Amino acid sequence: MIFPAQPQNPEQKQLKSSMQISDILSADRVTCNINIASKKAALETLSGLLAGASSNLTQAEVFHSLLARERLGDTGLGNGIALPHGRLKDRNFTVAAFIRLAKGIDYDALDQQPVDLMFALLVPENSTDEHLQILAKLAEMFSKPELLAQLREENSNDTIYDLLTS
Considering the candidates 85, 87, 100, 131, report the single residue annotated as catalytic: 85
Q: Phi-psi category of 142—alpha, beta or left, where left has phi over 0 and alpha has psi -120 to 50?
A: alpha
Q: Using CA atoms, how far apart are residues 43 and 62, in angstroms rounded to an integer?
A: 9
Alpha-helical segments (H) within the chain: 13-17, 39-51, 59-72, 128-141, 145-153, 157-165
64 flagged as catalytic: no
List the catalytic residues: 85
